[in-house]
Chains A and B, each alone.
Chain A
Amino acid sequence: MEVLFMGLREKLELLGVSRRDFLKFCTAVSATLALPPAMAPKVAEALEDDNRPAVIWLEFQSCSGDSESLLRSGRPKAADLVLDVISLDYAEVLMAAAGHQAEQAKHDSMEKNKGKYVLIVEGSIPVEDDGIYCCIAGDTALNQLKKAAAGAAMVIAVGNCASFGGIPAAYPNPTGAKGVADLVSGVPVVNLPGCPMNCDNLTALIVHYLIFGTLPALDNQLRPKFAHGKRIHDNCERRGHFDAGQYVEKWGDEAHRQGWCLYKMGCKGPQTWHNCPTLRWNDGLSWPVMAGHGCVGCSEPGFIDTMSPFYRRLPEVPGFGVESSATSVGLKLVGVATAFFAVHGVVSIIRNRGTVKKVEEEYYEKEEK
C-alpha cells in the first residue's frame, strides 16, 4: 500500500525527475508566476508589466469537453482568463490562426518561453502503430507531446483522457491510448481528471501559483489534494440518507423526488475522490447527485472500466452505520482500484467480465501474505 501514500517528491522520482530538475522547476515556476499576489483586478495594471504565464493547450484524442469547460470559467471569467490572466498562445478550439500559421505561433511561443511555459494537454495519446491514430499538422500526437513537454515548466493533464487514458483507453483500447504521465519524463505533471475537468479546479490551480508561488500538494495519482483529497461520499449532501438507510429504489419514486441516497442506483461516490459536492459545476450551481443521478467515478484511474456498469451498485458498502465503518469500507474499495492502477499502470479489463474482480481478489491475497 506504500505507493498510495507517496509524497510528490517521491512520485516525481518514480517518474524520473531528479532532485536537481525539481529545484530547477521550482525556480522556473516562481519566475513564470511572479504576478501580483492578488488576481490583478485592473487590466491595465496587470498588462503594464505583462508577465502572464504562456500557456500552450494541446488537444489529442479528445472531445474538446475540457476546452469547453474552460469557456465556462466563472472566476476569473473566461474573457478575463484569456485576455488578462494567461497568455493562451496555442489552443485549437479558440485560436484565430490556422494551419501553418497556428503551428508557427506555437513554435514561437515555445522558443521564446522555453523552460517557462505551462503545457496543458487534453485527450489521450495513442501509441499503437507508431501513433498514427492521431496526427496534427502531419505529425503524431506522441511527437507533438514530447516536443512540447521538453521545454515546459510543467504539464497539466486536463480531463480523464489526458490524465489516465480515459475512454479511448477503455477495454480493448483499440489505439493504445495512454495518459500524459505515462509518456512524459523530466518535467512535473499534474493531473486534473474528471469528465470533463471542472474548470474551477484548473483556475484554482493557476490561482494557487499566483497566490502561493508553488505547486499544490498532490496525491498518489498526481491530482491536487485541494480537488481530490476527499471522496464524493465524504461530502455528499445525501450522506445523511445513506447513514439512515434511505435509498432511491426506482427512478422517479418518492425517495428519488425527496433526494435520498443513490447508492442502490449505482452511485460510485464511495469510490471516487473529487470535490464535486463542495465545488459543484457551472458557477457552483449543481453536480450529478444533486440532479438525481449517481456519481460514475469519472476522476478515477481506470475509468470507465473500473466504474461500469454504471447502474450496478457497489459491493460491500454497508447500508447504514457509523462514520468509521463507512469510511473504512470506502477506503478498502478505493485502495484496491487505485493501488492496482498505480502498480500496473492500466486497468484494461472490465469489471463485468469478472477479471477485475479476480485481480482484486489476488491483490487482497497478496496483501494478506
Chain B
Amino acid sequence: MADRIVVDPITRIEGHLRIEAKVENGVITDAWSSSTMFRGIEKILQGRDPRDAWYITQRFCGVCTTVHSIASIRAVENAVGMKVPFNAEMIRNVIMGMQYVQDHVIHFYHLHALDWVDIVSALSADPVKTAALQESISDWKYSSADYFKGIQDRLAAFAKTGRLGPFGNAYWGHPAYKLPPEANLMAASHYLQALEVQKEIIKVHAILGSKNPHPQTFLTGGMSIPCDPNSQNAINADKIAMIMECNKTAREFVEKVYIPDIIAVAPFYLDWAGIGKTSGNYMSYGEFPDGREGHPNNLWLPAGIIKNGDLSTVHPVDHTKITEDVVHSWYEDTGPRHPWEGATDKKYIGPKPPYDYLDVEQKYSFVKSPRYEGAPMEVGPLSRMLVAYASGHKEVQDVVNHVLTTLGVGPEVLFSTLGRTAARAVETLIVARKMESWLMALAANINTGDYAIHDNSKWDPSTWPVQAQGYGWHEAPRGALGHWIVIQNKEIKNYQAVVPSTWNAAPRDDKGVRSPYEEALIGTPIADPEKPLEILRTIHSYDPCLACAVHVYDEKNELKSKVKIL
C-alpha cells in the first residue's frame, strides 16, 4: 500500500477529488480516482415540482453554473412536449456560448496554468525581453516593458512579505517546469488580466439572467427575460449593445492572448503530446441549435462517437445504450443499469476517517461508472473537437489545422494531455467568434415583431399527462451532460443525471476497466513522488468538476420494473 502516492485534495478544481497512484521507476503504473463528497440532490428532487428542478440541479455546480439548468429544462420540455420559442433558443445559445468562453478562460489561466507556469521564476525575467516576446505573439495592448516591470514589481513586493497566500507551498522550481522566466512573467500577467476579463465578459449572464454565478432566468418552456425593443424592462437595443461589448472583449482576449499563449507555450511541452492518452473513445451529444427547429435539430457542434481513436468514422449516439455501474462505487450493487432504471442505495464501506489510503480493491468512490455499449467514453472539449473535426466541421477543421501546422505536428498529438488543453483553446476561439451570430439572429427575430420567449400552453402542470418521462442533453463546457426525468402526477418521481465528470472521473467498472482519469495517468512520468506536479497536469487537463459528478441518491428502486425508453 505504501508504494502509492496520494493527492488529496486535488486543488484548482470544482469539488473534492482524490487521486491515488502507484509509481514504479519514476512512472505511474496504476491509478485510482475517487470523489469523497456526496449530497444526494436527486433524492431531494423527488416529490417536487418538475419546473423547480432546473434551479435545484443548477446547484450541482457553481462553476459550470448554467449547464444543469439547461439539461434540466430540456428534460422536462422533452417529457411534456413543450415547444421552445426561437428567441429563447437564441438567448440560451448566447448564455451557453459565454459559459464556454468564460469557463475555459478561467480554467486555463486560473485552474490549469500554474501546472505549466512557474510564478517564482517570473521574478527573474527581463521585462524588456518579455515585452519583445509579447509583441512577437500578438498585438495585445498590454505589451510594454514598463507594464511588465510593473507586474514584476508587484509580484516581488508580494513575495517579499513572505506570505504567498494562494501561491504558497506549491511546486515552484520543479524540474518539470520548462518555460524561460520571460514566458513565465508574460503568463503571470495574463493570469491577472484574465481575472479581470472573466468578470467582465460573464456580465452577459447578468444582463440576460440577473446574475452569475447561478443565473436566474431559466424556465421550462423558455426563458424569463422578456424581449421588447420598446421597453426598458426587456431585451432591447441597449442590452444587445452591452452584450456585443462583452462578446468583443471576450473575442479579443481569446484571439490575442489565449490562443497565442497556447501556441507559445506548447513547444516547450511537446512531450505532453505523448502523455495522457485514454482508450480512444470520445463522445459528444452535440450543441447549439442553429436553426428555427430548435434543440436537438441543426446542432452547430455535431453529436457523435469516435471509437478507438479512429477518426474515419463518426458513430451516432443513442441514449438507450448508456448504463451506469456501481461495483467500485459506494452504493449497493445493482449491476449496470440505464439511468431511468438507476437504483442507488448509499453504502459506504470505505475506511474510517482519518485514513491514509482507500481500499481500492473494493468500493472507493461516490462516482458511478457510466458506460456506452459497455465501454468507457472520454467527454469534453477534446471529444467535441474530434467529433466535429471527423464530421467535417469547417470552422473546427480550419482552426485545428492551423494550430497543428503552426506547431508542426499531426492530429495524433491530440490524443493526449496537451491535446486536451489545446482542444479547449480551439473550441473557445470558434465559440467566441460564433456568439455574435446568435445574438444577431435574436435581434433579427425580435425585429420581425416576434417577442415570444415562452411556451405558455404547457406551463400549467394540469395540462400534462399523468405519467411522462424525458431526457435532456447538453454539451456542457466539460462535456456530455444528460438529465433523465420521470414525472408522475405533476411531481418528480425519479431524476438521474449522468454528467461529464461522471464519465471522466469514474472508478473502474464491473470488468475492472479503468475510466478516463485513471487510464490517462498510466505512463505519466513522476520526477519527484513528493511533488507529483505531473498528476495535476493530466487531471487538470480534464477540468474536473466533482460536485456535479456525485449527487445520485435513489433510496427505493421504484422504477426497476418497466420504464418506457423513448
Which A residues form the contact surface with B (CB < 8 A)?
43-44, 47, 50, 52, 54, 59-69, 71-74, 77-79, 82-83, 86-89, 91-105, 108, 126, 129-140, 143, 166-168, 170-175, 177, 195-196, 198, 250-252, 256-259, 281-283, 285-293, 296, 304, 308-312, 350, 352-353
Contact = CB atoms under 8 A, between A and B. Distances in A.
A71 B199 contact: yes
A112 B44 CA distance: 41
B52 A168 contact: no
Given A131-B353, A171-B44, A256-B226, A43 B196 contact: no
Contact of A72 (B8, B56, B199): B199
Interface residues of B, number: 102
A135 B136 CA distance: 47
A300 to B, nearest CB: 15
Given A61-B37, A65-B65, A138 B8 contact: yes
Contacts of B55: 296, 304, 310
B119 interface: yes
A98 B9 contact: yes
B169 A292 contact: no
B531 interface: yes
Given A95-B11, A250-B456, A291-B224, A62 B62 contact: yes
A95 B553 CA distance: 31
B196 A79 contact: yes
Interface stretch (B201-209, B312-320, B500-508, B513-521): B201-209
Contacts of A79: 192, 195-196
A304 B166 contact: no
A167 B224 CA distance: 23
Contact of B222 (A86, A168, A251): A251
A200 to B, nearest CB: 11
Given A285-B203, A290-B210, 19 more contacts: A50-B161, A52-B161, A52-B163, A54-B163, A63-B59, A64-B14, A64-B63, A77-B195, A79-B192, A93-B111, A95-B11, A108-B169, A131-B353, A172-B43, A286-B210, A287-B211, A293-B210, A293-B224, A308-B52
A281 B11 contact: no
Nearest to A45: B157
A135 B454 CA distance: 43
Interface of B is mostly: loop
B62 A196 contact: yes
Interface of B: 6-16, 36-41, 43-44, 47-49, 51-52, 55-56, 59-63, 65, 106, 110-111, 114, 119, 153-154, 157-158, 160-161, 163, 165-171, 192, 195-196, 198-199, 202-203, 205-214, 216-217, 219, 221-222, 224-228, 231-234, 346, 348, 350, 352-356, 451-454, 456, 459, 531-532, 536, 547, 553, 555
Given A65-B65, A292-B224, A138 B354 contact: yes
Given A43-B154, A95-B11, A350-B47, A167 B199 contact: no
B220 to A, nearest CB: 10
A137 B39 contact: no
B225 A92 contact: no
Contact of A61 (B39, B119, B154, B536): B39
A168 B41 contact: yes
Given A65-B59, A138-B354, A285 B206 contact: yes
A73 B199 CA distance: 8
A136 B39 contact: no
Given A71-B195, A252-B454, A66 B38 contact: no
A286 B158 contact: no
Given A97-B11, A252-B222, A352-B49, A143 B233 contact: no
A311 B454 CA distance: 15
Contacts of A136: 8-9, 16, 36-37
Contacts of B198: 71
Contacts of B214: 65, 195-196
A113 to B, nearest CB: 10
Given A64-B14, A251-B454, A282 B165 contact: no
Contacts of B531: 101
B216 A172 contact: no
Contacts of B210: 281, 286-291, 293
A174 B454 contact: no
Contact of A281 (B43, B169, B212): B212
B216 A68 contact: no
Contacts of B13: 92-93
